[in-house]
Structure 1
């Protein structure tokens, strides 16, 4: 059933499509891995239906396209393979700047036949957590910083990745953190990326060269979590497309190259009073509020249980090792990049917390939902943080799960996270990750052949 507000939004969407002469629509649904699923429809068909149907399993598959053969997964998703009813979100419409014919892309939300959001769809999970904040009169604000690698085109998965060749005709062989010249090596690519982002109205901010060879970072402006998760989703797709047009790949793997730092998605987060617009993390006199400390306390308590949402693959845990510019614990500190939870120096109105644990391989909807849920639980339960870390946190003990299996066990045992994120989502997600882990265990690595073949 479409209400008047939705009808107005659809009419505005039609006007938007008419103004740009759009003839084709990419109807997109982000799945659990962040992959764009869906259908491509002629404009007339899209206008006529204002939605489409897809099987529920489309958003609940592993990265290899597999799903469980039995178990709790089917207590949530019946084996009858029923349909989801998809509705376009008009606020997400963007032009597809690389398409030959005028083409638009629109993200859809997933509903069941009774009109309820499908609870395990990534966008639904983030909407659920944002609703928890709304019920308290709060509005969360986030700003992701997304790291990625540019690598030479590589069609053989058995060959290690290496940096691409830049304008100079050479590949990077050394660390070039914050180097302007190193970024300029790939000017033709980034000119296309910024042009695409401008045509798509993506609010990207700063581009920098990170520590690794060929490693870059893009920052996004602060905004509402759902809209920013959509922008990260669009940006990943855009960057991959632009890179391939320049004969290279862009990868968001957490640890794509041995010996180089991993890639993170640092998420800055705060919240404002919806009625007054005031930052709840600051008192009227500018000092940190109780909610600021409770939020940090929630992150400290629940990040370990949420790690499979922040570090979703076996590869993710290769990044989280000592002395590689990635956190190994849940210490917090002001202007301290060795901790997992950092508070940047800022004016009272901009006081925020940065979760540095999340990998760039995480689904943006799921990761942002999870970190907001951890902070929300901290405030609701008034969890006090540990004393501030003012030294090198890398010298401390590991406080994060060291493997995907350990992380999944912690997620399953956290009743409070399950309640915040939704029981059906946690069940589907954890079952899918078990399938992925089983697929990984079928592969024999080069390390095993090199060190075990003739020595054991």
Structure 2
């Protein structure tokens, strides 16, 4: 059996034949992580082995809007030209909930000259991984993804509520790590695990998190692009499974007032590509210079990368004091109050956990950004601050407090732009500006409650 990452186009055809696939979902993740693309009959997919889409398809906001003018069009042609999409055979998976045998395949985006479109999320992550490869390094990552199950909600003005479980009741209290609370949704999770098995997703542990209806799934560690693909597929899978059980699954960073937000904690380490040795540890088992410098890079560049880790106005509601989310960039060993945690582990498994990232972040963009911060730290030999051994919530707030502030920091940070690609940062920040402007048109209930008759 050919390893998934070694699949060729001929192997892909054999894979499709074995499973008698009749339709192909040709997918491209956009800036928000939404699956864009086309559904092709098997014969058309085999004949074309690719397709075209307007280049702005991967560069729109969550509202589907585009900037009307400005630097965005210094990168993206106003003539609405095509991208040329090529399937990545290693990403082929069944669509387990489809009525007819259907496959889904992720595609990479190229221009007409055969160059990767630099602002497509998969391209950005590939770019950063190539920087590591040039140094003889291989980053290894393992995401922990939190999400909420909520009752169906068709009215955006009505607050979200926990769904009804097998007992006929909704959760009303904190149930962290409760097995019985997870079992309330056994039929749903049986479907999720069955879907994941058919899709060959490397999901590991399922736990109940702190919030009412809040769950967490852990992934086995692997290479960044593979894991980003798996998170992308997993989000689609959970949302689909939840719908089939008359509920919603949401990866909003802060979906329910008064409940903790949802994160995507990313464990990361770096190995020597030739030997497999974890470069965060020395031969005697102690932490290496690379470990310290990686920490230093995260501390220096995370504030400027926050628009990538916390991409929506809602994201910043999660990052509040004493809410199980970090407020600063202190680091510590086995300390969950800090933004950057080093779990206790043997030397070969020494790693760093970025706890700042929200569950709403695009997995490709978030992985590219956190790896970029660490790469800059190692290349520039940035020393971290002293380890925090107490409660980091007692320290100052050191992260931007809003999307507008975060975008200003990202635009000003030239080192990150050089690593991630200046065209990507231009497109990303311009798109986020129109999202922010759209949000500012909305008057919230808080404003009506407290300002209507008092100011």
Per the TM superposition, whether the score is higher than 0.5 is yes
Note if 1:112 corresponds to 2:111.
yes
Look up the match of 2:438: 439
1:266 Cα deviation after fit: 0.1
Partner Cα separation in structure 1 for residue 6 and residue 86 of structure 2: 12
Give, in whole Å, the separation in 2 of the partners of 1:414 and 1:17: 45
| Equivalent in the alignment of 1:352 | 351
Alpha-carbon distance in structure 1 between the residues aligned to 2:351 and 2:150: 33
1:107 to partner: Cα distance = 0.2
Match of 2:180 in 1: 181
Query: Which residue of 1 is the match for residue 248 of structure 2?
Result: 249
Residue in 1 that maps onto 2:92: 93
Corresponding position: 1:378 with 2:377: yes
Aligned equivalents of 2:398, 2:219: Cα separation in 1:
29
The alpha-carbon deviation at position 452 of structure 1 amounts to 1.2
Q: Deviations over 1:246-280 (max 9, x none)?
A: 00000000000000000000000001000000000
Aligned position for 1:424: 423
Q: Per-residue displacement from partner, 1:328-377 (whole Å, max 9, x unpaired)?
A: 00000000000000000000000000000000000000000000000000
1:388 offset after TM fit, Å? 0.1
1:144 corresponding residue in structure 2: 143
- What CA distance in whole angstroms lies between the structure 2 residues aligned with 1:136 and 1:187? 46
Separation (CA, whole Å) in 2 of partners of 1:452 and 1:411? 33
Secondary structure at the counterpart of residue 8 of structure 2? helix
Q: Deviations over 1:290-324 (max 9, x none)?
A: 00000000000000000000000000000000000
Aligned to 1:16: 15
Q: Write the distance in 2 (CA, Å) between the matches of 1:408 and 1:392.
A: 29
- What residue number does 1:3 align with? none
SS class of match (1:197)? helix
Question: Residue 61 of structure 1 corresponds to which residue in structure 2?
Answer: 60
Report whether the alignment pairs 1:224 with 2:223: yes
The within-5 A match list for 1:381-400 is: 381-400=380-399
Secondary structure, counterpart of 2:27 in structure 1: strand
Deviation at 1:8, TM superposition (A): 7.2
What does 1:300-315 correspond to in 2, within 5 Å? Answer: 300-315=299-314
Cα offset, 1:133, TM superposition: 0.1
* 8 Å CA contact retained: 2:328, 2:397: yes
User: Secondary structure of 1:278's match?
Assistant: coil
d(CA) in 1 for partners of 2:186, 2:72: 46
Distance in 1, matches of 2:391 and 2:83, equals 49
Q: Following the alignment from structure 1 to structure 2, what is the Cα–Cα distance between the partners of residues 273 and 8?
A: 24
- 1:223-372 alignment runs, 5 A limit: 223-372=222-371
SS in 1 for 2:207: strand
Partner of 1:77: 76
Q: Alignment length, in residue pairs?
A: 451
Distance in 2 separating the partners of 1:33 and 1:446 = 26
Distance between the aligned counterparts of 2:93 and 2:452, measured in 1?
52
Distance 1:327 1:19 in 2: 48
Distance in 1, matches of 2:70 and 2:412, equals 17
Residues 266 and 7 from structure 1, CA distance in 2 versus in 1: closer, same or farther, beyond 3 angstroms? Answer: closer
Moved over 2 A (4+): none
Distance 1:325 1:195 in 2: 31
- Aligned-residue Cα RMSD (Å) equals 0.9
Q: Secondary structure at the match of 2:45?
A: helix
Spell out, residue by residue over 1:92-116, the C-alpha distance to the aligned partner (whole angstroms, 9 max, x if none). 0000000000000000000000000
Q: Unpaired segments of 5 or more residues in structure 1?
A: 1-5
**Given the superposition, is the C-alpha separation of residues 55 and 445 from structure 1 closer, same or farther in structure 2, using an over 3 Å criterion?**
same
Indicate yes or no: 2:154 matched with 1:155: yes
Q: C-alpha displacement at 1:449, in angstroms?
A: 1.2
Write the distance in 1 (CA, Å) between the matches of 2:261 and 2:12: 40
Partner of 1:203: 202
Which segment is superposed worse, 390-399 or 6-15?
6-15
Q: Distance in 2 between matches of 1:275 and 1:245?
A: 46
Q: What residue is the counterpart of 2:412 in the other structure? A: 413
Decide whether aligned partners of structure 1 residues 37 and 313 sit closer, same or farther in structure 2, where only a CA change above 3 A counts: same
Q: Which SS does the other structure have where 1:40 is aligned?
A: strand
SS at match of 1:333: strand
- Residue by residue, what CA displacement relative to the aligned partner does 1:42-83 show, whole Å, maximum 9, x if unpaired? 000000000000000000000000010000000000100010
How far is the alpha carbon of 1:453 from its aligned partner?
Answer: 1.4
Q: Normalising by structure 2, report the TM-score.
A: 0.99
